[in-house]
Amino acid sequence: MFKFTDAAQMGQKKITRNNNMYETIDLWQKLIDIEIIVKERIKAHYENQKNVLKSINEIETLQCSEYTADRQDTINELMKSVGNIKLLDISDLNEQSKLIKEQINHKTTIINQLQELIPKKGIATNYSINTNNSTQTCSSSERFI
């Protein structure tokens, strides 16, 4: 016979599991926030690249009418930053992302362990939670995170 205390324990396991899933969803949201920041930094970097190229073109226009070595040196110096994504520092975000992913893995392990403790049939029937449903949709930023 299934006792009320057993049902209460099963219910508590479900609540604990659900709370862990809630925290996991919060972590997924934080991860998406980081991906958004990475994309914003990348966009700002490329906008800067466009501005540098505009400056180079202005100098090149001057070079067409009168060539100077100083202007050419300026062009050469400016060109060092064009197309160089390595100048974009997102290491702080990479570290945050790594820590969040570790927390998600830990929470997922806890959720899966709790689900195993809840019976599949009976009074405290288990409804399962799919922990494989990652919300990461910004796959293009994954190369940076």
What pLDDT sits at residue 112? Answer: 92
Q: 84-123 pLDDT, tens per residue?
A: 777 678 888 999 999 999 999 999 999 999 988 887 766 5
pTM: predicted TM-score of the whole model, two decimal places: 0.67
What pLDDT sits at residue 84? Answer: 75
Q: 42-101 pLDDT, tens per residue?
A: 899 889 999 999 999 999 999 999 999 999 999 999 998 888 777 678 888 999 999 999
Nearest alpha-carbon partner for 128 in 106, 113, 143, 107: 113
What pLDDT sits at residue 139? Answer: 41
Ordered by start, the domain boundaries in the chain are 11-131
Taking the C-alpha atoms of residue 131 and residue 111, their distance in angstroms, rounded to an integer, is 8
Backbone dihedral region for residue 114 (phi beyond 0: left; psi -120 to 50: alpha; all else: beta): alpha
What pLDDT sits at residue 5? Answer: 65
